[in-house]
Amino acid sequence: MNIIRYACIENVHEKREIILLKAFPCSWGRCSFCDYIHDNSADEHAMNATNSEVIAKVAGRYGVLQVINSGSCFEIPPKSLQTLKEAVDRLQIRKLYFEAWWGYRHRLDEMRKFFGVEIVFITGIETFDELFRNQVLKKGIAFDSVAEVSRYFQSVCLMVGIKGQTREMICNDIKILLDNFAYGTINLYVNNTTEVEADFELQQWFKSEYAWLKDHPGIDVLFENTDFGVGAPLD
């Protein structure tokens, strides 16, 4: 599979470069809908070699960089993180976007201290409906309030158009996102190798009902999982 690991995102709320790095296995790794963990590895030497090549492509354009991997930023090998920091310093990148699973929420300041620049932390909530999030999607994320989530994360990812979801659930999720977070990514679910199935009728409704979101400040809507220009399409 030919995986694209560097791109420049321009048709979004904040123009930025984006890189997809290789990392150790996801510390959770039990989400029912996710097969991205197939990009994980235990070969630290090979991961660092790949990541070094990817990081070398970063040009410092726009001064903003998004770093993703098939898990959390804390699973990126230490040597790769050091290479990334050197690039951030050299290119005077002023802002980073990182992803982290909810279980890492108490460690986010470690990354802020290490890089010394503004970091927008993203977490994949997928939905604020607790039953669907944990019983169906198996996210392993429990919290007492939305305020608890926004205390740690400036951005959340939502998943739209999965069988079992309802219009009401999606409307509620989007309202919570817009009312409580400065940033957000809304992903239309794409069928993959897992047993979780897309609801295409629900997705068509969403595209019509929420077409205006593509122009909303701080919100990115991904109709395909490769819309950011990195990754690989699913056959």
Cα four-point dihedral sign 81, 10, 125, 145: positive
Q: How far apart are CA 100 and CA 106, in angstroms?
A: 11
pLDDT at 234 over 50: no
92: left (phi over 0), alpha (psi -120 to 50) or beta: left
Q: How far apart are CA 119 and CA 111, in angstroms?
A: 8
| Chain segment 91-105, per-residue pLDDT in tens | 999 999 999 999 999
**Full set of structural domains in the chain with CATH:** 6-222 (3.20.20.70)
pLDDT at residue 68 in the model: 95
pLDDT at residue 37 in the model: 66
Whole-structure pTM value: 0.92
pLDDT at 167 over 70: yes
Interior CA angle at 23 toward 18 and 27, to 5°?
A: 115
| Chain segment 44-93, per-residue pLDDT in tens | 999 999 999 999 999 999 999 999 998 999 999 999 999 999 999 999 99
How distant, in Å, are the alpha carbons of 61, 84, 158, 228, 230 from that of 56?
Answer: 13, 9, 31, 19, 16
Q: How far apart are CA 41 and CA 188, in angstroms?
A: 27
Q: How far apart are CA 217 and CA 75, in angstroms?
A: 30
pLDDT at 178 over 90: yes
Residue 179: both structure tokens together: 């009312």
Residues in the chain: 235
Q: How far apart are CA 223 and CA 235, in angstroms?
A: 16
